[in-house]
Structure 1
Amino acid sequence: MLIRSAILNVMTRAAEKAGRALVRDFGEVEQLQVSRKGPADFVSNADRKAEKILREELLKARPDFSLLMEETGTVTGADPDRRFIIDPLDGTTNFLHGLPHWAVSVGFEERGELLAGVIYDPIKDELFWAERGKGAYVNDRRIRVSARQHLSDAVLGTGIPHLGIQEGAGKAVFTKRLEKAMNGCAGVRRFGAASLDLAYVAAGRLDGFWERGLSPWDVAAGVVIVREAGGFVLDGKGRTYGLSEPDLIATNELLQKPLVAMLKVES
Structure 2
Amino acid sequence: MKDLDTLLATAQDAAAIGAKLMTTQAPGTVQAKGDRDYVTELDVRIQHQIRDHLARATPDIDFLGEEEGGGTIDESTDYVWALDPIDGTSNFAHGIPLCATSLALVHRGEPVVGVIIAPFLDLHYHAVKGGGAYCNGERIHASETTDLSRAIVSIGDYATGPAAAEKNERRFAVTRALAENVERVRMFGAASLDLAWVAHGRTDACVILSNKPWDMAAGVLTAQESAALVTDAHGQPYELTSRETIGTNYALTSQLKDVCGAPIYENLNPNSPPSS
TM over 0.5: yes
Cα distance 1:217–1:43, how it changes in 2: closer, same or farther (>3 A)?
A: closer
Matched-pair contact (CA < 8 Å) for 1:65–1:80: no
TM-score, normalising length: structure 2:
0.86
Tell me, what secondary structure is at the counterpart of 1:184? coil
Amino acid at match of 1:46: L
Does structure 1 residue 145 correspond to structure 2 residue 142? yes
CA-CA distance at 1:163 after TM superposition: 3.9
Tell me, what secondary structure is at the counterpart of 1:84? strand
Alignment match, 1:51: 47
Tell me, what secondary structure is at the counterpart of 1:245? coil
Matched-pair contact (CA < 8 Å) for 1:249–1:260: no
What is the CA–CA distance in structure 2 between the aligned matches of 1:126 and 1:159, rounded to whole Å? 20
What is the CA–CA distance in structure 1 between the aligned matches of 2:30 and 2:225, rounded to whole Å? 36
Alignment match, 2:256: 259
CA-CA distance at 1:180 after TM superposition: 0.7
Amino acid at match of 2:239: G
CA-CA distance at 1:145 after TM superposition: 0.3
Deviation per CA, 1:227-250, whole angstroms, max 9, x where unpaired? 000000000000101112111110
> How many residues align structurally?
252
Alignment match, 2:191: 194
Tell me, what secondary structure is at the counterpart of 2:145? coil
Does structure 1 residue 64 correspond to structure 2 residue 60? yes
Alignment match, 2:11: 11
CA-CA distance at 1:214 after TM superposition: 2.9
Alignment match, 2:23: 23
CA-CA distance at 1:74 after TM superposition: 5.6
CA-CA distance at 1:80 after TM superposition: 4.1
How well do the aligned residues superpose, as a CA RMSD in angstroms? 2.0
Deviation per CA, 1:51-70, whole angstroms, max 9, x where unpaired? 01110111111001011110
CA-CA distance at 1:162 after TM superposition: 4.4
Tell me, what secondary structure is at the counterpart of 1:133? coil
Matched-pair contact (CA < 8 Å) for 2:18–2:86: no
What is the CA–CA distance in structure 2 between the aligned matches of 1:6 and 1:160, rounded to whole Å? 34
Amino acid at match of 1:105: S
Identity level (%): 33
Tell me, what secondary structure is at the counterpart of 1:5? helix
Matched-pair contact (CA < 8 Å) for 2:110–2:239: no
> Which of 160, 180, 187 is the aligned partner of 1:183?
180
Deviation per CA, 1:187-227, whole angstroms, max 9, x where unpaired? 00011111011111100001000111231110000000000
CA-CA distance at 1:47 after TM superposition: 0.3
CA-CA distance at 1:11 after TM superposition: 0.1
Amino acid at match of 1:139: N
What is the CA–CA distance in structure 2 between the aligned matches of 1:215 and 1:54, rounded to whole Å? 19
TM-score, normalising length: structure 1:
0.89
Indicate the larger mover: 4-13 or 199-208: 4-13
CA-CA distance at 1:150 after TM superposition: 1.1
What is the CA–CA distance in structure 2 between the aligned matches of 1:120 and 1:89, rounded to whole Å? 10
> Which of 238, 243, 257 is the aligned partner of 1:241?
238
CA-CA distance at 1:165 after TM superposition: 5.9
Does structure 1 residue 113 correspond to structure 2 residue 103? no
What is the CA–CA distance in structure 2 between the aligned matches of 1:113 and 1:160, rounded to whole Å? 24
Alignment match, 1:35: none
Indicate the larger mover: 102-111 or 255-264: 255-264
Tell me, what secondary structure is at the counterpart of 1:198? helix
Matched-pair contact (CA < 8 Å) for 2:105–2:111: yes
Alignment match, 2:225: 228
CA-CA distance at 1:75 after TM superposition: 10
List runs of 5+ in structure 2 lacking aligned partners. Answer: 32-37, 268-276
What is the CA–CA distance in structure 2 between the aligned matches of 1:225 and 1:149, rounded to whole Å? 21
Matched-pair contact (CA < 8 Å) for 1:67–1:75: no
CA-CA distance at 1:159 after TM superposition: 1.7
Amino acid at match of 1:54: I
Matched-pair contact (CA < 8 Å) for 2:72–2:213: no
